[in-house]
Amino acid sequence: MGQTLTNIAEKLQNASKKVQLIYAFNASGKTRLSRAFRELIDPKTEERDDDYHPKLLYYNAFTEDLFYWDNDLTRDTERKLCIQPNAFTKSAFEDLGLDRDVITVFQRYTQPNLTPIFNEEYKTKDKDDREIIVPAFSEVIFTLGQDPETNPERLKISKGEESNFIWSIFYCLLDQVVSTRNITEVDDRETDQFNDLEYVFIDDPVSSLDENHLIQLAVDVADRIKRSDTVNGLKFIITTHSPLFFNVLFNELNNKTCYMLKRLEDGGFELEATSGDSNHSFSYHLYLKQTLEEAIAADKIERYHFTLLRNLYEKTSNFLGYPRWSDLLPGDQRLYFNRIIQFTSHNTLSSEAIAEPSPQEKQTVKFLLDHLCNNYSYWQEETPNV
């Protein structure tokens, strides 16, 4: 019988380690674990007032939900990224003035001339022609260049660039947290809003980065963790589905505890302690293969297994030097199987709402796994001749 995510959150809390790294495949519960941990450490209550100081700083998929696009459907010119009122950006921009730092970090992860420009407070009218005040740092436009007058086009940046922008805000806030908490004398700190902070929980930051930038991000995160003095008591929990990100953090950080989070067939979860990076502690591609084989044998295939199958094809194609993972699919039906895997592995609604694939889809998983193992040199032990 598996544990609940609350049980696992309690285990992470009771470990009292400075750094805990968690590897998990997509759809294994990483984001839900971050929410369960937040509810355990710092639950939302109606009693919070202006003197409230958070105990947890966290980044996950819900952080990105604070940002949404106004695409100016009427004129199609004034595209802007809007920010829901929240304590996260208020702390970064209004209280600490980190907007210039955010721009610098964002351009380092994207391109030097892609510039976010924050709004100042202004008056406008709502749909009922009533005057309203739009607060500063509630809207962002993006241009190519520093001056919106000489570069008038308002860009709709890609989803990956948007994720980079949101991560840049969190990263700059994290940098400020570490610098502030490293000042031993509380009265000497620039702000008191981080005095009660106990944990930083980072769930899968910017998975859309290419390998070079992902390595840079991992090094940057590790550097901030190493800069955080042990005496200030701040603890870090990081989850990821990226073996590369996991491995860089593993090698950069000393004194860390590593786990693998698994979602079990009974609907529960397991947090298994590991040692070594992903290649030594759970051999990424072999673990994928084993997980799929066990699901097929037990007739327990769920939609997230299509994601694992795609990951296995990607890992194999990279190792063998193929330009695309789909090149490994059966040639006569390559387009058909590509569409099935693409749709099923990226459709989060299907993953959450319909856990049970059809019998035909289950057969597809078995067929494509057998095809990969039989045609692309997966080592198989044979019984020796006697």
Sketch the domain layout of the chain as residue ranges. 5-274, 284-375
Per-residue pLDDT tens over the stretch 200-241: 999 988 766 777 788 889 999 999 999 998 777 899 999 998
Identify the CA nearest to 376 among candidates 314, 325, 328, 310: 328
Which pLDDT score is estimated for 241?
87
Is 209 in contact with 164 (CB distance < 8 Å)?
yes
d(CA 93, CA 16): 31
Per-residue pLDDT tens over the stretch 146-161: 665 666 678 899 988 9
Is 50 exceeded by the pLDDT of residue 386?
A: no
Is 60 exceeded by the pLDDT of residue 349?
A: no
DSSP per position, 58-127: EESHHHHTTEEEE--TTTS---EEEE---HHHIIIIIIT--HHHHHHHHHHHS-TTEEEEEPPPEEEE-T
**Mean per-residue pLDDT over the chain, rounded:** 86
Is 50 exceeded by the pLDDT of residue 280?
A: yes
CATH topology of domain 5-274: Rossmann fold (3.40.50)
Place 382 in a pLDDT band, splitting at 50, 70 and 90.
very low
Give the position of tokens 């030594």: 280
Identify the CA nearest to 117 among candidates 103, 131, 135: 103
Element (H, E) at 20: strand 19-23
Which pLDDT score is estimated for 228?
93
Q: Residue 155 contacts by C-beta under 8 Å, 6 or more apart in sequence?
A: 79, 114, 142, 143, 144
C-alpha pair distances (Å), 352 with each of 60, 69, 122, 286, 365: 18, 25, 41, 26, 19
The separation between the first and the last C-alpha atoms of the chain, rounded to the nearest angstrom, is 42
Which pLDDT score is estimated for 229?
85
Place 170 in a pLDDT band, splitting at 50, 70 and 90.
very high
Which pLDDT score is estimated for 381?
45
- The residue ranking higher by pLDDT, 357 or 121, is 121
Is 60 exceeded by the pLDDT of residue 346?
A: no
| Tally of residues, the chain | 386
d(CA 300, CA 362): 9
C-alpha pair distances (Å), 154 with each of 78, 100, 132: 6, 19, 23
Which pLDDT score is estimated for 8?
97
Residue percentage of the chain with pLDDT more than 70: 88
Is 90 exceeded by the pLDDT of residue 252?
A: yes
User: What are the φ and ψ backbone dihedral angles of 219, each rounded to 5 degrees?
Assistant: -65, -40
What distance separates the 2 farthest-apart alpha carbons in the chain? 90
Place 103 in a pLDDT band, splitting at 50, 70 and 90.
very high
Per-residue pLDDT tens over the stretch 302-320: 887 888 888 888 878 877 7
pTM of the prediction?
0.75
Place 61 in a pLDDT band, splitting at 50, 70 and 90.
confident
